Structure 1
Amino acid sequence: MKCVIAGGNVKVLGQAVHSLSRIGDELYLEPTESGLSLRTVNSSRSAFASFLFAPLFFQLYEPGPTPDTEHFRCKVHMKSFLGVFRSLPSLEKLVGKCLILLKPRASRLVLQLHCKYGVTKTHNLAFQECEQLQAVFDTQSCSSCLCAPARVLAEAVVHFPLTLAEVTLGTGPGGKIGLRNYVEDEAEPSKTMVTELWLAEDEFQSVVVSPGSRITFCLKEFRGLLTFAEASNLPITIHFDEPGRPVVFTLDDTVLEVHLVLATLSDLERDSQPAPTNGVSHLPAPSDDFADDLESYMVALETSTYEGDPEEPPSPTFPLHNPQTVQGNPEEEEEEEDEEETVPGTPPHKKFCSLFFGSVLTPGGPSLAPTQEVLAEDSDGEN
């Protein structure tokens, strides 16, 4: 792969990397005919982000393999890649062009920053080959959809403290959309600060929501997307459904397509009732065989499944797949039942359903790993 980014697009790429760094510790790169894809996922599998830069975004774009060959995918450490674009002001003032070279034989990802006064900064990053990483979700099945300028949402969340972990988005009377900090049930009212604000329907570009709908998601990752969207002056579209099913934030432009998928807090009243899955694992009881299948689950994490011709580039949407059922060992389940019922640092009733990842495995390799229900840890506070 070889691509050249010139002018202000270098800063846009840097802003995208900063947004992705708020989510995962590894950056997945995949050059295709549709453009260069940058993806990441957090350690608890509850947040997934994807940036797809179209060929028009680049001054020169050569994906490398021909359409008759398989696409090459790799992953690098996020901190290493972020170090190249750490200073956004200097990218805008000093850097005139960025060259990205992917050398599979040397296992090196080369980034060259051509700065003013003839200065060239070259970074050689080691990478690992991997399978495609893709969250499985279908935005068309969501019953609620909101579209608003990034500035409106950014001005709304600025009222919440930086240390706030989760925020609740819901509908109110008169078609208003409300944002409120999430408060645990056992919290003492006298020692709890509640911040709540309402946005009128005319603040949004489009509003299609179910009456009484409400979801709770992590705020840290959402802030990162807001910062990028506000700097790029792009509206944000929010697709969501019932509590426990993922919320999808999208940005669309002629040269850029962004997806941020976040797990939402399950509704305790619905936990006892089985619900169809759509990109997440819904199980009424805690999964006791997660530890047994950890290795196979990690294999599925770094892989993906998509329908159609395998030679075609992956679809930027999130197709719907039905996860397989889990078969566990009864003896091992009894031994690990006490340990799996409570996750340290996470209240037992706070259940964030994990995003489900499909897999494409080589012939003769392990079978498709089952989906698991995990209790995602709360997002860390802002650094």
Structure 2
Amino acid sequence: MNCIVPAQNTKVISKAINALAKVGDEIYLEAKRDELKLTTLNMSKTVCAQCCFFQSFFSSYDIKENQLTEENNETITCKLFMKSVLPLFKGNLEKKLEFLKIEFDMSSDFMIFKMKYKFDQILMIHKLRLMDSETLSIGITPNSGINNLLASSSLLNQVLSMFNLSDNEITLEIMNSRIIARNYYTGTSNPKQMRCEVKLSAGEFFIFDVKNETIVNFALKPLRTVISFAETFNLQIGLNFDGGGKPLTLLMKNPTFQIYLIVSTLNPNKEGQSTMSSTSLPTTTQRNKKNLNITIEDQQALENENWDEDIQFGKINENSKKNNFVSIMKKANSYSSNKENQSEDLNESDISEVYRMDVDDNIDLDVIPKSPESPRRKKIKLVFSRCYEPTICVPNLGKEINGNSDSNNSKIE
């Protein structure tokens, strides 16, 4: 196999290999008569990424007929370590290289990458040792699903910008006229986690062909990888799937190449886990003279409070006011439960009495003593004390302090 990649296409193959490196640690090469495929799998085998470069992608694509036999199904296969391939495709190769040539012989244990640079006529040859020969069969075609969606990469990028970078999974609720995207958390709900929901209408997609309404949950990392690659070359992203629990395909097409990722999914409803959860927070006390709302915890604390104990930062000896405070709080409880009799149970004078006792009588226990004065401030006052002394003394005005230097010997009046 001998194929030559022109300089203008080296950026495409470089970005494609970098995208594959985000998925798996091994890269499978399959050379056929009219195309070259690069495939990888992640460790858990839940994501499969494949780049297919057609014959028109190369300036020269040649495969020897004696290497294509019936035993290997008319395909040349080999496997490489991703760490050995990735360093060759770093940087802006389209500006540096004149062409890239890939050579492979079935009888050899090496794959050869020849890079011809534009400047100084440098030709670099990289020999990469092959791994054990292995054939990878996926068994899933990119267009096997009954639901098809096609959207621009900018639209999907705007949707992802609504989610946090810490989100690992996304849930898509697909209906006939719209799609609802939510972030997904496994297990119990955490109030500190932000729940996001984005609604997209069918008119925002180039193709919106939904024959089966479903809910699909999958990982966000493959979607971020696809969007990053698609925005570089201004490609549209297609989604093909059947339903939750079956594979979902993210597809990008170009006249000379196509890239797709097959991602495993699940249906959250069948797993017994809800995609959305609501948490109830305790209501806060609002200090409003017209509407007094008190939580149940505060009411119980006020009723069980021992007002006879000494307070650390102040003493309250007026027992009548304390008992009055408790009785007013009990009236507030009946006021919130029986709104029809609110004028009889609690009046404006009682409410004002509550706030007057709270503010004027220092019932609040959270009293923090003042901090002592800083010694540095005392030192500054001592050093600059002369600056604050008066510079003019009124009793000395009108008196002769020193004689005049002129000959008239006039006095200062």
Q: Same fold (TM over 0.5)?
A: yes
Greater relative contact order, per chain length (Cα 8 Å cut-off, separation 6+): 1
Q: Give 1:240 deviation, angstroms.
A: 1.4
Query: How far, CA to CA, are the matches of 2:225 and 2:186 in structure 1?
Result: 24
Query: How far, CA to CA, are the matches of 1:266 and 1:203 in structure 2?
Result: 25
Percent of pairs with identical residues: 28
Alignment: residue pair count: 267
Give the letter for the 1:175 counterpart: S
* Matched-pair contact (CA < 8 Å) for 2:216–2:265: yes
Q: Give 1:45 deviation, angstroms.
A: 0.8
In structure 2, which of residues 90, 93, 114 is the aligned counterpart of residue 91 of structure 1? 93
Q: Give TM-score, length-normalised by structure 2.
A: 0.61
Query: How far, CA to CA, are the matches of 2:269 and 2:214 in structure 1?
Result: 15
Secondary structure, aligned partner of 2:98: strand
* Matched-pair contact (CA < 8 Å) for 2:169–2:219: yes
* Matched-pair contact (CA < 8 Å) for 2:9–2:94: no
Secondary structure, aligned partner of 2:134: coil
Partner of 2:59: 59
Query: How far, CA to CA, are the matches of 1:141 and 1:15 in structure 2?
Result: 27
* Matched-pair contact (CA < 8 Å) for 2:144–2:240: no
Secondary structure, aligned partner of 1:242: coil
Secondary structure, aligned partner of 1:130: coil
Partner of 2:359: none
Query: How far, CA to CA, are the matches of 2:258 and 2:126 in structure 1?
Result: 26
Give the letter for the 2:214 counterpart: S
Q: Verify: 1:160 aligned to 2:170, yes or no.
A: no
Query: How far, CA to CA, are the matches of 1:141 and 1:122 in structure 2?
Result: 41
Q: Give 1:200 deviation, angstroms.
A: 2.6
Query: How far, CA to CA, are the matches of 1:216 and 1:269 in structure 2?
Result: 11
In structure 1, which of residues 67, 73, 87 is the aligned counterpart of residue 77 of structure 2? 73
Q: Which moved more, 1:237-246 or 1:248-257?
A: 248-257
Q: Verify: 1:112 aligned to 2:114, yes or no.
A: yes
Q: What per-residue deviation string (whole Å, max 9, x for no partner) do you get for residues 140-192 of structure 1? A: 552321011222212221332333211112235x822222211224122x222
Structure 2 unpaired stretches of 5+:
273-413
Cα 1:159/1:268, change in 2 over 3 Å? closer
Structure 1 unpaired stretches of 5+:
272-383
Give the letter for the 1:236 counterpart: I
Partner of 1:31: 31
Q: How does 1:332-347 map to 2 (within 5 A)?
A: none
Q: How does 1:149-298 map to 2 (within 5 A)?
A: 149-171=152-174, 175-188=177-190, 190-210=191-211, 212-267=213-268, 269=270
Secondary structure, aligned partner of 2:255: coil
Root-mean-square deviation (Å): 2.1
Q: Which moved more, 1:147-156 or 1:30-39?
A: 147-156
Q: What per-residue deviation string (whole Å, max 9, x for no partner) do you get for residues 42-68 of structure 1? A: 110100111110111001111234454
Give the letter for the 2:130 counterpart: F
Partner of 1:303: none
Partner of 1:3: 3
Partner of 2:314: none
Q: Max radius of gyration: which structure?
A: 2
In structure 2, which of residues 133, 137, 144 is the aligned counterpart of residue 134 of structure 1? 137
Q: Which moved more, 1:7-16 or 1:222-231?
A: 222-231
Cα 1:139/1:94, change in 2 over 3 Å? closer
Q: Give 1 or 2: higher helix fraction.
A: 2
Q: Which moved more, 1:122-131 or 1:42-51?
A: 122-131
* Matched-pair contact (CA < 8 Å) for 1:29–1:38: yes
Q: What per-residue deviation string (whole Å, max 9, x for no partner) do you get for residues 304-343 of structure 1? A: xxxxxxxxxxxxxxxxxxxxxxxxxxxxxxxxxxxxxxxx
Q: Give TM-score, length-normalised by structure 1.
A: 0.65
Query: How far, CA to CA, are the matches of 2:104 and 2:143 in structure 1?
Result: 35
Q: Give 1:137 deviation, angstroms.
A: 2.2
Give the letter for the 1:26 counterpart: E
Give the letter for the 2:198 counterpart: L
Query: How far, CA to CA, are the matches of 1:116 and 1:270 in structure 2?
Result: 57
